[in-house]
């Protein structure tokens, strides 16, 4: 009980320091965001590239490229203002958080200005107006015609979008299934998990072209049938607002929008070849990064973990508490939360501008270190007490005992468990896809969006993860055998 109280005290202390740090006054943009962009020479545009023809990834000579109306507009803004352009691709529901923590400067992601969003960000003048549609399976076209037919039925939408709101307010007692990415909702619809999907017109058309089993429910008319699309920017940035509106005005005046639409349609059609020639490069890149972040996670995790384990075995009480608090906190919170904390925390709290890849690695290293610390501690504790007693009575110091008697035996307990941890990390690393680290899962999602095929990329991802983990466990098996022999 006393122990628990102490752990809690240490933690409340850590958390309150953190909260003092996140003091909004320190971070409130005292300056027009425009100055920061100019100083940096780079415009960071946040978007969710699951939204053809607005923004999507496609393959150009084996390289993945962003394309779409929003991408073209972003390029134009950068060019108009002599800035470099950096596209930051993430989940739609993370974009507002990213702008507030300073990860991105603006959002161009088919976003609709709404009163709720206006509390957190400002919006440029709208650059487009789009229809709201319902799509269904062709085979169910007789069952679902008017909006009344959807009462009490399951409706799929992208999470945190206006389509979610329309489904909630305009369909009687709809059972809403909100998913993070558009291809996931399409997949739900195709597999019959939902009966209909509320989606914006141009996006629906893009998906219908590739999925012949889906169609519009043409008689469904929403009250909020039209929505505007605009660029989101941090509050109180009149200069930035001005620059954005100038570029948009151009687009609208010269009717460039039609050109942009046409170029987006072209980009969508250019993909030819079979699934693997088209998307193989995405998966290869994913494999490389998954292996990289897993190795970094386990190796650095082991280094820190060893250190934490030493603290935990130390004679000094306070060090033991700190180690326990660290381990318990990290094992008691989801990796997903930790990943977001590192990603947004590094900018919001520490003011650092670190790439998603590095943030993902940091989160994995921290998470691994807690598990590995326990592995190491358990491995050391598992060595029979008598060994220490014998060594000490032979006159070895504590250090010597550790080094030549305990650790060599402990390693035999630790290595196999470390191998298991490695297998776990390969699978868990898929979680960092949420912040846009380009590992296997992330690329599978990119391919879902680019191919309009929600299923095949998942199968490929599953097979790839399996090959990695299975090979690794075979290798471990082999070494474990060797360790046993050496006994």
Nearer to ligand ARG, 110 or 345 (CB): 110
Please report which residue ranges of 130-226 form alpha helices under DSSP H: 162-170, 182-190, 201-210
Closest CB to ligand ARG among 199 and 425? 199
Return all residues near 400 (Cβ < 8 A) that are at least 6 apart: 391
CB 113, min distance to ligand ARG, A: 8
What is the nearest approach in angstroms of ligand ARG to the Cβ of residue 385? 60
Tell me the CA distances in angstroms from 56 to 7, 71, 109, one per residue in order.
47, 9, 10
Please give the Cα distance from 203 to 194 (Å, whole number): 18
As measured in angstroms, the least distance from the Cβ of 32 to ligand ARG is 25
Q: Which helix (H) or strand (E) holds 401?
A: none
Residue 86: CB minimum distance to ligand ARG, A: 17
DSSP string, 8-37: HHHHHHHHHHHHHHT-HHHHS--S-HHHHH
**CB nearer ligand ARG, residue 413 or residue 438:** 438
Which of 50, 184 has the CB closer to ligand ARG?
A: 50
CB atoms within 10 A of CB 252: 13
Shortest gap between Cβ of 165 and ligand ARG (angstroms)?
8
The answer to whether 160 and 93 are in contact (CB under 8 A) is yes
DSSP assignment of 206-236 = HHHHH-TTEEE-TT---TT-EEEE--EEESS
Q: Are strands 214-216 and 128-137 parallel, antiparallel or unpaired?
A: antiparallel
> Toward ligand ARG, which CB reaches closer, 130 or 322?
130
**Least distance in angstroms from the C-beta of 166 to ligand ARG:** 9
Q: Which residues pair with 253 in a beta bridge?
A: none
- Shortest distance in whole angstroms from residue 364 CB to ligand ARG: 27
CB 449 within 8 A of CB 181: yes
Instruction: State which residue, 55 or 439, has the beta carbon closest to ligand ARG.
Output: 55
Min dist CB 93 to ligand ARG, Å, is 9
- Residue among 332, 385, 364 nearest 435 (CA): 364
Nearer Cβ to ligand ARG (46/419): 46
178 or 443: whose CB is closer to ligand ARG? 178
Cα distances from 283 to residues 51, 277, 289, in angstroms, run 20, 11, 10
CA of residue 26 relative to chain centroid, distance: 27
Using CA atoms, how far apart are residues 167 and 177, in angstroms rounded to an integer? Answer: 10
Provide the phi-psi class of 82: left if phi over 0, else alpha when psi is between -120 and 50, else beta: left
Q: What's the closest the beta carbon of residue 90 comes to ligand ARG, in angstroms?
A: 10
Which residue's CB is nearer to ligand ARG, number 260 or number 422? 260
Judged by beta carbon, residue 225 or residue 416, the one nearer ligand ARG is: 225
What is the nearest approach in angstroms of ligand ARG to the Cβ of residue 466? 30
CB of 48 to ligand ARG, least distance (A): 4
Nearer to ligand ARG, 55 or 149 (CB): 55
Residue 179 is encoded by which pair of tokens? 């998913």
Least Å distance, CB 445 to ligand ARG, is 12
**Strands of 232-234's sheet, edge to edge?**
84-89, 42-47, 106-107, 232-234, 121-123
Q: For the stretch 17-45, what's the b/e string if a residue is b when 16 or more beta carbons lie within 10 angstroms of its beta carbon?
A: eeeeeeeeeebeeeebbbebbbeeeebbb
d(CA 102, CA 164): 26
**Closest CB to ligand ARG among 162 and 237?**
162
Name the residues that contact ligand ARG, by CB under 6 A: 47-48, 50-51, 55, 92, 109-112, 158, 161-162, 182, 200, 227
With tokens 């400002």, the residue in question is: 122
């Amino acid at each position: 009980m006393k122990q628990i109280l102490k752990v809690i005290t240490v933690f409340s202390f850590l958390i309150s320091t953190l909260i003092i740090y996140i003091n909004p006054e320190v971070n409130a943009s005292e300056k027009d965001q425009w100055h920061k962009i100019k100083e940096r020479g780079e415009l960071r545009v946040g978007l969710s590239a699951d939204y053809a023809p607005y923004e999507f990834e496609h393959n150009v000579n084996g390289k993945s490229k962003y394309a779409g109306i929003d991408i073209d507009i972003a390029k134009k803004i950068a060019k108009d203002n002599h800035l470099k352009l950096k596209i930051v691709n993430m989940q739609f529901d993370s974009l507002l958080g990213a702008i507030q923590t300073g990860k991105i400067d603006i959002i161009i992601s088919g976003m609709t200005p709404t009163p709720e969003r206006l509390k957190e960000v400002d919006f440029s003048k709208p650059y487009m107006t789009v229809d709201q549609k319902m799509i269904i399976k062709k085979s169910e076209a007789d069952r679902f015609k008017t909006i009344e037919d959807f009462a009490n039925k399951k409706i799929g939408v992208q999470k945190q979008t206006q389509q979610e709101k329309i489904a909630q307010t305009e369909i009687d007692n709809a059972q809403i299934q909100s998913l993070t990415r558009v291809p996931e909702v399409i997949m739900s619809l195709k597999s019959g998990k939902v009966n209909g999907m509320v989606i914006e017109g141009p996006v629906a058309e893009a998906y219908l072209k590739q999925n012949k089993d889906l169609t519009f429910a043409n008689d469904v008319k929403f009250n909020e049938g039209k929505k505007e699309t605009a660029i989101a920017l941090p509050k109180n940035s009149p200069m930035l607002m001005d620059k954005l509106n100038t570029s948009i005005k151009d687009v609208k005046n010269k009717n460039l929008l039609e050109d942009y639409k046409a170029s987006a349609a072209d980009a969508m059609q250019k993909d030819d070849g079979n699934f693997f020639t088209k998307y193989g490069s995405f998966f290869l890149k994913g494999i490389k990064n998954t292996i990289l972040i897993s190795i970094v996670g386990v190796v650095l995790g082991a280094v820190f973990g060893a250190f934490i384990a030493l603290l935990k075995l130390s004679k000094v009480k306070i060090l033991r508490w700190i180690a326990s608090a660290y381990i318990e906190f990290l094992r008691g919170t989801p990796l997903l939360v930790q990943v977001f904390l590192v990603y947004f925390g590094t900018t919001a709290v520490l003011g650092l501008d670190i790439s998603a890849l590095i943030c993902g690695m940091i989160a994995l290293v921290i998470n691994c270190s807690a598990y590995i610390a326990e592995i190491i501690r358990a491995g050391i504790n598992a060595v029979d007490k008598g060994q220490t007693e014998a060594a000490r009575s032979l006159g070895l110091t504590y250090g010597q005992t550790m080094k030549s008697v305990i650790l060599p035996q402990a390693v035999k307990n630790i290595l196999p468990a470390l191998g298991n941890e490695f297998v776990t990390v390969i699978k868990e690393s898929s979680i960092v896809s949420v912040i846009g680290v380009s590992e296997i899962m992330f690329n599978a999602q990119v391919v879902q969006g680019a191919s309009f095929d929600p299923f095949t990329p998942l199968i490929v991802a599953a097979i790839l993860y399996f090959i990695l983990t299975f090979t690794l466990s075979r290798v471990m098996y082999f070494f474990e055998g060797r360790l046993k022999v050496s006994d």
